[in-house]
Chain A
Amino acid sequence: SYELTQPLSVSVALGQTARITCGGNNIESKNVHWYQQKPGQAPVLVIYRDINRPSGIPERFSGSNSGNTATLTITRAQAGDEADYYCQVWDSSTVVFGGGTKLTVL
């Protein structure tokens, strides 16, 4: 089965750029979606189909996908960006989620 690998944690200084990676075999051939989940809340879609932002998601959030790695980039990180982030793809007729990355804003 297809696996997505995310770092357990990423730290970023306030106002700096955070990059959260999602690794998978030839992941560039798939569409990657990203979710933000704050403690006690439901996940929120922040990026879909690699690079697209849903309405209401700040331009500070962007995505890319190349080779074996997809990346969620958060520029000018804010305290409110502290959350768990999950990547997700569709493979072999099922949904696959990454294990999640905890973003800490210092």
Chain B
Amino acid sequence: QVQLQQWGAGLLKPSETLSLTCAVYGGSFSDYYWSWIRQPPGKGLEWTGEINDSGTTNYNPSLKSRVTISVDTSKNQFSLKLSSVTAADTAVYYCARTLRVRGVGRWFDPWGQGILVTVSS
């Protein structure tokens, strides 16, 4: 039974860098991609990007210039950094296992518990 546990700073000032980490327990880490997905308060879901154990990444084009996702295979962890944050980046950030099939797409199961990150001066 795969479980994801995430942590990181919950309050940032504008222009700072958001930093979150997600640890994966149980199951295979190397057989999957791993994603970050965010949800502004009261709003819908937005995929941020993904990474695999080799460090291959794919990012949402709308965030690509500010996002870096990295991996630490020795700890079965992956991390999100989002630079130059503004109030618009205030959201609950989830990590999730990404299931992919070539030519079919991606879906997410399971998800981490989520962390609310607030950007405020």
Contact = CB atoms under 8 A, between A and B. Distances in A.
* Majority DSSP secondary structure for residues of A touching B: strand
Task: Indicate the member of A43, A97, A99 with the most B CB atoms within 10 Å.
Answer: A43
Contacts of B101: 31, 49
A48 interface: yes
Interface residues of B, number: 23
B106 interface: yes
Contact of B47 (A48, A49, A94): A94
Given A44-B111, A94-B47, A94-B60, A31 B105 contact: yes
A56 B104 CA distance: 23
Contacts of A30: 105
Interface in B74-121: 94, 99, 101, 104-114
A54 B110 CA distance: 10
Nearest to B107: A33
B72 interface: no
Interface string A80-106: 000000101110011101111000000
Interface of B: 35, 37, 44-47, 58, 60-61, 94, 99, 101, 104-114
Interface of A: 30-31, 33, 35, 42-45, 48-49, 54, 86, 88-90, 93-95, 97-100
